[in-house]
Structure 1
Amino acid sequence: MTEAIKYIGCDDKDLDLFESQYEVPNGVSYNSYVILDDKVAIMDSVDPRVTDEWLANLEGALGGRKPDYLVVQHMEPDHSGSIKAFLEKYPETAVVGNAKTFAMLGQFMEAPLFENRKHVVAEGESLELGKHTLSFYMAPMVHWPEVMVTYESTEKVLFSADAFGKFGTLDVDETWIDEARRYYLNIVGKYGVQVQGLLKKAAALDIKEIAPLHGPVLTENLEYYIDLYNTWSTYKPEVEGVLVACASIHGNTKNAALKIWEHLKDADVNTTFIDLTREPVSEAVAQAFRFDKMVCCACTYDGGLFPPMDDFLHHLTAKAYQNRKVAFVENGTWAPQAAGKMKAILEPMKNLEFMEPVVSIKSTLNTESEAKLQELIEVLK
């Protein structure tokens, strides 16, 4: 990063499921940094999957020096999982964290490893390294209660913990926004109010670089990334358009959903089609938050709702889906009732407008349901 601040993190190309649920086809990075000054500070550790590689990176960056501080911004195991090995290797290093950090640390390892090495910091407190000064700002529930971020005032770097992170290793050639959106909305999305609090604190700082715990260090056009985080954390749509989300058993519901999608495309409406039986639910969640409208197309199943749609909608409610318009298309051979089931899941959410007409199909589209489908398409345009 700079002459004094070095990246010592690791790429994990073999991980298939982040947090054992989110598909990561391009892996993920576990970021860690070292600041070399009169005193040496390490910013976070890494997942235990790459402990040995991280310790080797650290040793190379230290060039024979010993670390004075290990700053622990976040206790989730993908960032704290190598602390025990670090403390055993560097027994004289002080551990910097807040009160909640140390309460959690004792749940992951034996207290004697760190009890006499604690350096407890609170909101706004600073740590002098020499030419570099670290200031600490609490960011509870972004996205664990002990999270804090660190600002280095000499080189104007914000070490942002999980904020501004993304899926994907650092060597993958892909745009930032798609995997950052999927990461934010699935990992942090429930905590928009808390993210707003962090953004307000960050607005008072002169930031030139943002160094997250996943994904690349952000060095240019920081307003772009901050604006996106402001949009996401206030639950505003990113763009005008329609997500067509479909859960079909035998293909007849999917045929109706594809008709909607194709008509919208032909009308130059910004739209995306997601087959919930084939595509990751995390991508469907990200796209649902991206657009201002959504059409949910699903079958009745065992008197209830087809599970892929049920799972998707509960993911949305868990992430505080709100401020959007939603339409329903249901299908059932003898008793279509999926629309009511879908609406019941979403009704408790804030500021949702349920669009008319509801399209009800019995097995396959016929003249009547086709006419309703066309009516809905016109409303969606």
Structure 2
Amino acid sequence: MHNLVKVTDSVYWVGANDRKTERFENYMPLPMGVAYNSYVIKDEKTCVIDTVEFGVEGLFMEKLECVLDGKDLDYIVVNHMEPDHSGGLRDLMKKYPNAKVVGNAKTFPMMKAFIHEANEENFHIVKEGDVLDLGHHKLTFAMMPMVHWPESMVTYDTTEKILFSNDAFGSFGALDGGIFDDEVNFDFYEDEMRRYYANIVGKYGMQVQNAIKKLSPLEIKYICPSHGIVWRTDIKRVIKHYDYWSRLEPESEGVVIVYGTMYGNTAKQANAIARELSAQGIKEVKVYDASKTDHSFILSDIWKYKGLIIGSCSHNNALYPKVQPLLHKLQNYGLKNRYLGIFGNMMWSGGGVRGIQAFADALNGNEIVAEAVEVRGNPTLEDYEKLENIARAMAEKIKSHR
């Protein structure tokens, strides 16, 4: 087969790009597609590390058969049972019925739930630190519970120092020719990697920190994740990103303004705050209408920037419906280390600002920079001055960290 990709002389990438699927997990947009990565080790014993999503298993099987070149498959390592990793597993087990399926004690109940006919006689349970001998290659396993499912684990090739890292260090975005980090401009992928982290793994920062500490003694020459580019040159860079993101430490001095509006008055407030932030020297300001922009993109920028200013009109005495789920997710993820500002719009009884304040009160580790502003109807000159005060207070806090 043309253009088989070698990670090393005996380890192959047999993944597939998906540019057709519109939404990951059927809710997060994929404007740049996504890659499902699978790997084959060709040794005295042959081994597949994870499979791919349902829609691309045909290409995966074609590549695998080409690599094996008539050899049988001895082992299938299952680091993670989520269907974007295991969608091709049923067909693979049917094609190679004698292959041993390698997973941990929590893997196989999930496997039986997805694949009822799976042959339990082929199950091979491994524990932390167990070794699978392929001949030249020796694989060992580390459990990574809740990064980001209970059965998640990683596989480490002690021979060639390869970390098959499962969802850790992954990214959205199809691989447009370049497979390895030194073949691409990482700046092109960085936002999609952050969006992937914030939305897929973001809730489990403590578990990611534990995983980083567990893996830190290892010599790692390659990181082979289940999505996104394969790392072989700038390993420290991707680990540094995950270290920052998992500690909810912002990367930039910028500010995200996100608002919900029905008739434009809350949008006027957002624009006034944004303009004053810029006048105060804040060069990275992102303004989002929560009704238009998918929340996965907003969440990614909230992960990136130090400042967050939230606005909502009142809707049935409560938060605007398109703002509420974003705040719920941020609360669920335990947002911290941010400066917060609050504004909104009402007519008779309010509710939007009250809802944002309740969200802020429920979190620890954030600082509200100024008194909330709630405008009745169309903002007045006095209202605009109060809104600009939020911007000035936010800018002062942001600049104090330079």
1:137–1:150 contact (8 Å) kept in structure 2: yes
The aligned amino acid for 2:56 is V
Mapping of residues 1-381 of structure 1, within 5 Å: 1-111=7-117, 113-171=118-176, 175-269=188-282, 270-381=284-395
Q: CA deviation at 1:263?
A: 2.2
Of the structure 1 ranges 137-146 and 332-341, higher mean CA displacement relative to structure 2 is found in 332-341
Question: Per-residue CA shift, 1:316-369, capped at 9, x if unaligned?
Answer: 112221222211011012333311111112322221222312112111110221
Q: Work out the CA distance in 1 between the residues paired with 2:253 and 2:26.
A: 32
Structure 2 letter corresponding to 1:152: D
User: Is the 2:318–2:350 contact (alpha carbons within 8 Å) kept by the matching residues of 1?
Assistant: no
Q: Is the 8 A contact 2:339 2:394 kept in 1?
A: no
CA drift of 1:119 comes to 1.3
Give the deviation of 1:248 after TM superposition.
Answer: 1.4
My pick for the range that moved more, 317-326 or 69-78, is 317-326
Distance 2:80 2:351 in 1: 45
CA distance in 2, matches of 1:90, 1:370: 69
TM-score (norm 2): 0.92
Cα drift, residue 57 of structure 1? 1.1
Secondary structure of the equivalent of 1:304? coil
Structure 1 residue 114: Cα displacement: 2.6
C-alpha RMSD of matched pairs (Å): 1.4
Query: Matches of 1:194 and 1:347 in 2, distance apart?
Result: 25
**Deviation readout 1:286-329 (Å, 9 max, x if unpaired):** 11121222100110011111111112111211222122221101
| C-alpha contact 2:173 2:189 (8 A) present in aligned 1 | no
3-state DSSP class of the match of 2:58?
helix
Count of equivalent residues: 380
Q: Distance in 1 between matches of 2:350 and 2:114?
A: 50
Cα distance, 1:176 vs structure 2: 2.2
Deviations 1:175-207 (A, max 9, x none): 221001101111111111111111012111000
Distance in 2, Cα, partners of 1:301 & 1:277: 14
Letter of the 1:114 counterpart = N
Matches of 1:343 and 1:303, distance apart in 2: 14
Summarize deviations over 1:117-148 as a string: whole Å, max 9, x none: 11111001111111111110000000000010
SS in 1 for 2:378: coil
Residue 400 of structure 2 aligns with which residue? none
Q: Note the residue ranges of structure 2 that are not aligned, 5 or more in a row.
A: 1-6, 178-183, 396-402
Q: In structure 1, list runs of 5 or more residues that go unmatched.
A: none
Displacement of 1:266 after TM fit? Answer: 3.2
* TM-score (structure 1 length as normaliser): 0.97
The one-letter amino acid of 2:291's match is T
Deviations 1:215-252 (A, max 9, x none): 11012221111111111111222222211112111112
CA distance in 1, matches of 2:95, 2:152: 25
1-side partners of 2:98 and 2:14: how far apart? 20
* In structure 2, distance between residues paired with 1:114 and 1:273: 53
Percent same amino acid at aligned positions? Answer: 38
Give 1:59 shift.
0.4
Identify which range, 325-334 or 173-182, moves more after superposition: 173-182
Report if the CA contact (8 A) 1:41-1:71 is conserved.
yes
Q: Is the 8 A contact 2:272 2:384 kept in 1?
A: no
User: SS state of the match for residue 139, structure 2?
Assistant: strand
CA distance in 1, matches of 2:224, 2:188: 17
**Pairwise CA distance, 1:157:** 1.0
